[in-house]
């Protein structure tokens, strides 16, 4: 595989990455491998490719002595990640290939297509499934006209209000004063479907019994 085109930015990036934990292209001493790659570069790498620049300055410092480096000069494409696994190399490059969690190259187009299809199916299933429904618990205070109003009747009427997303809960009668009691009743509503204005309107429709309605508590569940 090699570095790619070393005169391009992409190739230089590969070289930089390769040299991050290496001092020389091959092994631990300067060799003809370094000379080959050095001559393939058109100039010093930029400062942000710090590993490549470090290596470049180091090889440059040898000057003419580079001709006497050991080894045999091969084509540049023989060096670099996966390409440098040639003959006399030590366990350096094996480290590169141990990619415990990485996925293998998707050479197979059919496999890639299958994967796409499965992804699309999963996404569609997810979208179709309703998410968690937002619910709230509301406590209402319903006040009668006077102490002679029949609260039991009132409660029956209120519980008669039925709509999608509304579930009536417990109720109790709370004395207010002067013998008058108010009805406190709980309900659980789905936020998207039922709101407090609907509840207030429908309850105050029972004009004979209900003087007013108040929301005491509104808690998200």
Partner 1 sequence: MAGMKTDIEVLAAYLGHSSVDVDIDDKQKVPLLGVDGGFKLRGFGTICKYLAKQAKRLDLLGNQPEAQAAVSQWLEYRITQVDRCGTDKDKQCILEDINRFLQKRVYLVEYQPTLADLLLYYSLHSVMTELTFLEKQKLMHLSRWFNQVQHLPGIYQTLPVVPFQRNRIYGHSAH
Cα dihedral 192→197→201→202 (10° resolution): 30
User: Nearest distance from residue 51's CB to partner 1, in Å?
Assistant: 8
Nearer CB in complex with partner 1: 99/162: 99
Is residue 52 within 8 A of residue 19, CB to CB? The reply is yes
Nearer CB in complex with partner 1: 97/207: 97
User: Nearest distance from residue 100's CB to partner 1, in Å?
Assistant: 6
Q: Cα separation of 179 and 146, whole Å?
A: 9
User: Nearest distance from residue 125's CB to partner 1, in Å?
Assistant: 30
Nearer CB in complex with partner 1: 92/141: 92
In terms of phi and psi (left: phi > 0; alpha: psi -120 to 50; beta: otherwise), the region of 86 is beta
What are the CA-CA distances from residue 43 to residues 24, 46, 156 (Å)? 18, 9, 90
Binding site for partner 1 (CB under 8 A): 20-23, 27-28, 50, 53-55, 57-58, 61-62, 95-96, 98-102
User: Nearest distance from residue 45's CB to partner 1, in Å?
Assistant: 12
Phi and psi angles of residue 44, each rounded to the nearest 5 degrees, phi first: -65, 140
- For tokens 């796409």, the residue is 116
Nearer CB in complex with partner 1: 101/178: 101
Q: Cα separation of 3 and 15, whole Å?
A: 6
Nearer CB in complex with partner 1: 38/209: 38
User: Nearest distance from residue 221's CB to partner 1, in Å?
Assistant: 38
């Amino acid at each position: 595989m090699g570095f790619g085109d070393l005169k391009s930015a992409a190739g230089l990036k590969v070289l930089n990455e390769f040299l991050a934990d290496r001092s020389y292209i091959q092994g631990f001493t300067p060799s003809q491998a370094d000379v080959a790659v050095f001559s393939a570069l058109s100039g010093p790498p930029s400062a942000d490719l710090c590993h490549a620049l470090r290596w470049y300055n180091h090889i440059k410092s040898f000057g003419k002595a580079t001709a006497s480096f050991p080894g045999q000069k091969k084509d540049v494409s023989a060096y670099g990640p996966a390409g440098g696994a040639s003959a006399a190399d030590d366990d350096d490059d094996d480290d590169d290939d141990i990619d415990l969690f990485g996925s293998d190259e998707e050479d197979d187009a059919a496999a890639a297509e299958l994967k796409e299809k499965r992804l699309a199916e999963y996404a569609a299933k997810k979208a179709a499934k309703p998410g968690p429904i937002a619910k709230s618990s509301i406590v209402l205070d319903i006040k009668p006209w006077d102490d002679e109003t029949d609260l039991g009747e009132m409660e029956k009427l209120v519980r008669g209000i039925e709509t999608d997303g509304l579930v009536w809960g417990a109720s109790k009668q709370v004395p207010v004063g002067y013998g008058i009691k108010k009805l406190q009743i709980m309900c659980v509503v789905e936020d998207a479907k039922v709101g407090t204005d609907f509840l207030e309107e429908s309850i105050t429709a029972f004009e004979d019994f209900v003087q007013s309605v108040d929301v005491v508590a509104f808690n998200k569940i």
